Amino acid sequence: MSRLKEIDMAIVATQEEDYLRAYNLFLDLYGTESGPRLDTPKAANGLSYFGLCVALVQRKYKEAIDLCRRAIELEFYNGDHYANLARVYAVAGNRKKALETAENGLKSAPESELLQQVRSELGIRARPLVPFLDRSHPINVTLGQSRHAKKSVAVERKSVARASKNKKK
């Protein structure tokens, strides 16, 4: 089997969320001296997904970030690389960097469905209710939780009303 097909298999395993299998496939590829050259577009794609697997399986975030950044250097126009880097930042607990990466990626690759999906999963944070206090201040936390609960109740009421309306028809 050719190295490029092996990279494809590892990428597919990652996309199917079989991260451990993908990680092992990538290790077999990149961990040998006969591994693929790291300056080709196909290798860039593999590096990006390998970085995601390193973050999710090994929890080695710096190494994962470096792999994803290298992929972006090789293919800055590929939205998957930005999406994978954003996911690594999110898993590492750096939501702000994840959002920045997704936004920068959308500037370079606005048509990327994966990047758009990752961006929507990250969501948009509401401003703190008391802006002169820190977001983590107990007053802001409590008010934010009550605001969220109120929105949840409103959504639930709408869905119940819609369901009862559909039953009447």
Domain range 3-125, CATH class: mainly alpha
Q: What is the pLDDT of residue 31?
A: 74
So where are the chain's domains? Answer: 3-125, 127-169
Q: Read off the pTM.
A: 0.72
CA 13 → CA 4, 7, 52, 54, distances in Å? 14, 10, 12, 14
DSSP category for residue 55: I
* pLDDT tens per residue, range 146-161: 988 888 888 788 777 7
* pLDDT tens per residue, range 65-74: 999 999 999 8
- 129 touches 147 (CB < 8 A): yes
Neighbour count for residue 133 (Cβ, 10 Å): 14
Residue with tokens 């040998």: 32
